């Protein structure tokens, strides 16, 4: 499961890769460490056009089943303390930090967002898979230079939920990206999954325009990725200045 990635490219590099999007004057700052439930840049299909935005938060809505289970656990703990529980109210206020990675695309929960109208691409230059025995965060990229690539993503507009109890109900745009079986080099670190990665303009165009096909959810060929860093919560090209967390 990928829960940390880096995006150190710029609008010009993205435009050389992806045609026909509106950035509405948006410039990109360095993002050496992007964490769940933080905002990050995506290029999304929206009302028949493509646009680059930076205000979407990473983490799609969790399933109703997952929220029900979480609320049930919380209710049981409260009852164990002798407190009365209004379960419908508890469930309505159950915090949902979001689901960053989408794997089971046969689920009814995800199928509603797999159409072209909810497609997006997520620019990145490296991503981390965590393995404590291997040194913590293990960063992968296409090469030491960390060239631009994209995760195959989906997004949902103006979703209303409680992300954090302290903030209460929020209505926000959300995104996540697909995962699949890992390639050999990722499997050695994280055997369960890796992000679905798009490395060419043709692949990006297919993802943003073509009807859903399960074959889109596939790993990179073995040998496409290399480990570029270990044990850090940020990553960037060699010599790039660190940005405070």
Handedness of CA 197, 203, 204, 210 (dihedral sign): negative
SS3 201: helix
Q: How far apart are CA 154 and CA 208, in angstroms?
A: 10
Total of domains in the chain: 2
Q: Are 16 and 133 in a shared domain?
A: yes
Instruction: Provide the CA 117 distance to its chain's centre, in angstroms.
Output: 18
Q: Are 85 and 116 in a shared domain?
A: no
SS3 132: helix
Q: Are 87 and 18 in a shared domain?
A: no
- Given 78, 94, 110, the domain boundary residue is 94
Which pLDDT value is given to residue 239? 60
Q: Are 53 and 163 in a shared domain?
A: yes
Contact by Cβ (8 Å): 204, 17: yes
Q: Are 77 and 178 in a shared domain?
A: no
Which pLDDT value is given to residue 237? 75
Q: Are 142 and 180 in a shared domain?
A: yes
User: What residues form DSSP beta bridges with 50?
Assistant: 21, 45
Asked whether residue 39 is domain-assigned, the answer is yes
Q: Are 149 and 193 in a shared domain?
A: yes
Closest CA to 152 of 217, 89, 221: 217
Asked whether residue 238 is domain-assigned, the answer is no
Q: How far apart are CA 56 and CA 36, in angstroms?
A: 11
Structural domain of 72: 63-94
Q: Are 20 and 75 in a shared domain?
A: no
Q: Are 42 and 71 in a shared domain?
A: no
Q: Are 75 and 174 in a shared domain?
A: no
Q: Are 208 and 130 in a shared domain?
A: yes
Which pLDDT value is given to residue 155? 98
Asked whether residue 79 is domain-assigned, the answer is yes
Asked whether residue 167 is domain-assigned, the answer is yes
Contact by Cβ (8 Å): 85, 198: no
Q: Are 117 and 32 in a shared domain?
A: yes
Mean pLDDT by 10 residues, the chain (245 residues): 93 92 86 97 95 96 89 88 86 88 95 97 98 93 97 97 91 98 96 96 97 95 96 82 46
Give 202: exposed, middle or buried? Use CB within 10 Å, 0-12, 13-18, 19+.
exposed
């Amino acid at each position: 499961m990928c829960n940390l990635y880096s995006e150190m490219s710029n609008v010009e590099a993205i435009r050389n890769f992806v045609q026909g999007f509106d950035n509405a004057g948006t410039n990109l700052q360095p993002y050496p460490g992007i964490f769940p439930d933080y905002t990050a840049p995506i290029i999304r299909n929206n009302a028949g056009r493509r646009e680059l935005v930076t205000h979407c938060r990473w983490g799609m809505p969790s399933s109703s089943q997952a929220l029900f289970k979480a609320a049930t656990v919380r209710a049981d703990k409260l009852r164990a303390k002798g407190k009365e529980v209004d379960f419908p109210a508890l469930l309505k206020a159950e915090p949902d930090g979001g689901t960053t990675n989408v794997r089971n695309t046969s689920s009814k929960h995800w199928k509603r967002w797999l159409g072209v109208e909810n497609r997006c691409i997520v620019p990145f230059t490296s991503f981390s898979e965590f393995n404590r025995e291997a040194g913590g965060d293990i960063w992968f990229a296409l090469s030491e230079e960390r060239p631009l690539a994209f995760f195959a993503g989906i997004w949902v507009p103006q979703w209303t939920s409680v992300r954090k109890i302290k903030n209460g109900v929020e209505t926000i745009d959300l995104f996540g990206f697909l995962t699949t079986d890992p390639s050999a080099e990722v499997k050695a670190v994280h055997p369960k999954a890796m992000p679905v990665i798009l490395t060419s303009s043709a692949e990006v165009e297919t993802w943003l325009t073509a009807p859903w096909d399960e074959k889109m959810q596939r790993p990179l060929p073995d040998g496409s990725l290399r480990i570029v860093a270990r044990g850090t919560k940020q990553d960037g090209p060699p010599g790039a200045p660190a940005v405070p967390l």
